[in-house]
Structures are given as structure tokens and as C-alpha cells.
Chain A
């Protein structure tokens, strides 16, 4: 069983479109994260949710909106996609109080043309 899964694995879309990436974890963790990894492999946190509540919200454009329907899911919706949004997006999860030990999903490679 996959611990942290993301769909889709690849996403190619045009500028201006709206798209969503889904993430699910079956580890029973309370906290979930979204990271963006740019073309230079730099990994930066975007959001963190704990028990469906937003606890970290880095400087990210308002076009990005995370949604957590329950603590096992954290989806990322992106409006009005731009070329600079092209990146690999990773979802991760951790137990409460163990934010340092995160389990990562396989990533979603988003390409905006």
C-alpha cells in the first residue's frame, strides 16, 4: 500500500487554466504539507495543515488554494496557471509533534505551456 499518494503524476496544461492536484495519506498522520520543487531542485514549503486547519502558509500567490476535506487528504487547487508555476509539487505528511519526520509522496510534475 502506498503511504502518501498523489494524482496525477504528470499534468500538462495551458496558461490561464485551473487545475487541482490531489493527495492522500493512509498513515494516520495529523499533519500534511505541500512543497514546490523548482527546476533547480530547490524544495520550498507552501502550506501545512494540521487536522484540517491551516498552520503554515508561506508567501504563495492567492491563486494557490489548499483544501483539506479530512485529515487524510490535502488537495491543491491552482487558478489561472502561469508559466512560472511549472514545477514538481510534493505532498507530505507527518505525525503531530514530529514535523521533522515527513513522509513524501512521489510528486506531481506540472508543466504549464
Chain B
């Protein structure tokens, strides 16, 4: 069965600092990997996705993520965080285009001014 682990429940960074949110997955074959963001009181929005090819993927809002098969990881990064990035971030894995998404438990990002 597929699963996702987000080791950090809550991360606090200062505005302008760099950010890395960790995600580890478990899946028997090549996974499809995603990052979603949930702003307070809102639904989830897709930030970026990885299917195959270049292991460094670019997403919206200046985010990027790197797929590392050897570490079963798909960490999300941003070079300079803005206050509006404060939200809950979810990593997700899928077995393919028609397979269900399995989400991690989320990482809450707080941005200090």
C-alpha cells in the first residue's frame, strides 16, 4: 500500500528565509508525487507534481521540489518565503493517472515577520 510521511508537523520560518518541507513516500513502483497547499479556511490547491523525467520540478508561487528515488523523498523548497505562504502543506502519492491520492498528515508553516 502507498503511504506518505511528513516528519515535521509544524515549521516556523522568518519572512525572506529559505524553506524546505520534508516528504517521504512508500510505493512499490515509480510513484506520482504531489504537493498541495491549504490556506486557512480554504480547500487544497495543487502546487506541483512529479511523474517522470527531470527530478527537479517547478510549481506555482515560486515553489520547487526534488524527487530522490534513493531516499524515497520529495521535499518541497522555496528560496525566500513570503508571509502569504503561511498555510498547511500536504504531500501526496499516487500510483498512476487514475489511482487515488494518498496524503501525508501535513506540515503547518508559520511565517514570522
Interface, chain A (partner B; CB < 8 A): 4, 40-45, 48, 56, 90, 92, 96-102, 104-107
Q: Say which one of B43-51, B57-65, B74-82 lies at the interface with A.
A: B43-51
Asked if A106 and B41 make an inter-chain contact with CB atoms under 8 angstroms apart, the answer reads yes
CB-based closest 8 A-B pairs: A104-B43, A104-B44, A43-B103, A41-B106, A100-B94, A97-B97, A106-B43, A42-B105
Contact residues in B for A99 (Cβ distance below 8 Å): 94, 97-101
Asked if B106 and A42 make an inter-chain contact with CB atoms under 8 angstroms apart, the answer reads yes
Contact residues in B for A56 (Cβ distance below 8 Å): 100
Interface, chain B (partner A; CB < 8 A): 32, 34, 41-46, 49, 88, 90, 92, 94, 97-103, 105-106, 108
Q: How far is the CA of A40 from the CA of B6 in the complex (A)?
A: 13
Interface SS, B side: strand
Interface SS, A side: loop
Q: How far is the CA of A101 from the CA of B94 in the complex (A)?
A: 11
Query: Contacts A41-B106, A43-B90; is A102 near B42 (CB within 8 Å)?
Result: no
15 contacts between A and B (CB under 8 A): A41-B88, A41-B105, A42-B103, A92-B43, A97-B97, A98-B97, A99-B97, A100-B49, A100-B92, A100-B99, A100-B101, A102-B101, A104-B45, A107-B41, A107-B42
Apart from the given pairs A99-B94, A107-B42, 18 other A-B contacts in the complex at a CB distance below 8 Å: A4-B43, A42-B105, A43-B90, A43-B106, A45-B101, A56-B100, A90-B43, A97-B98, A99-B99, A100-B32, A100-B92, A100-B99, A102-B46, A104-B45, A106-B42, A106-B43, A107-B41, A107-B43
